[in-house]
């Protein structure tokens, strides 16, 4: 894995996003109404509260929630940002977070329930970043809990299956598993789109290809 060391961690979008999440969490502690206003509620988001598609991903439910999300984000976010560049990295995070919310709402509509339950947390964007990292470095070893090594591609497939299974069976009340699934799918789709576009640019113009 080759990284461009153009800037330090404290100069990265990864660092700034972590800082924003921490600031928002502090505001949530002192002003509980802040959470109600800026978290995403499926039943009201389409009544003009579209900003919730973005603001919800900077809010968290408790200290463990934000610590875990930001820890994983720091580990995979910074190396991915160095590889993709600032703009593409930010696009992966934000679009994955939005895709996570959209997928979550669609699944709630299909399952006929939970439309009044607020959604919050950076998990969708974080899972999208993790999926993009796995797409870019599928053979890179990732240590689960610092002990169990898995190739990044195997890890993301496992997480996709696990989160779908947990969501369908509702085995983790209070956790938006379908939001995680949506983040993974969106992150992968973004990377596939960029890969196809880059491959299309490599094909010389004026040539035709014939399969025999």
Tens digits of residue pLDDT in 56-109: 999 999 999 999 999 999 999 999 999 999 999 999 999 999 999 999 999 988
Burial of 210 (0-12, 13-18, 19+ CB in 10 A): exposed
Torsion region of 19: left, alpha or beta (phi above 0 gives left; psi -120 to 50 gives alpha): alpha
**pTM above 0.75?**
yes
Burial of 57 (0-12, 13-18, 19+ CB in 10 A): buried
- Among 44-53, 70-79, 131-140, whose mean pLDDT is lowest? 44-53
Token pair recorded at residue 90:
């930010």
Match domain 9-198 to its CATH number in 3.40.50.300, 3.40.190.10, 1.20.1540.10, 2.40.440.10.
1.20.1540.10
Q: What are the residue ranges spanned by the domains of the chain?
A: 9-198
Q: 2 pLDDT exceeds 60?
A: no
pLDDT of residue 202: 74
């Amino acid at each position: 894995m080759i990284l461009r060391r153009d800037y330090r961690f404290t100069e990265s979008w990864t660092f700034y996003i972590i800082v924003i999440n921490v600031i928002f969490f502090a505001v949530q502690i002192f002003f509980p109404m802040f959470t109600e206003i800026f978290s995403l509620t499926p039943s009201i988001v389409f009544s003009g509260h579209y900003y919730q598609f973005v603001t919800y991903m900077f809010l968290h439910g408790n200290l463990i929630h934000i610590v875990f999300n930001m820890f994983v984000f720091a580990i995979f976010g910074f190396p991915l940002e160095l590889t993709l560049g600032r703009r593409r990295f930010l696009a992966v995070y934000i679009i994955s977070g939005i895709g996570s919310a959209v997928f979550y709402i669609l699944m709630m509509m299909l399952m006929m329930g939970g439309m009044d339950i607020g959604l919050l947390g950076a998990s969708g964007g974080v899972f999208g970043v993790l999926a993009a990292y796995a797409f870019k470095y599928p053979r890179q070893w990732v240590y689960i809990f610092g002990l169990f090594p898995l190739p990044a591609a195997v890890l993301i497939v496992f997480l996709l299956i696990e989160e779908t299974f947990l969501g369908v069976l509702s085995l983790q009340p209070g956790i938006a598993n379908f939001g995680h699934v949506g983040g993974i799918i969106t992150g992968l789709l973004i990377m596939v789109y960029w890969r196809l576009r880059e491959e299309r640019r490599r094909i010389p113009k004026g040539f035709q290809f014939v399969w025999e």
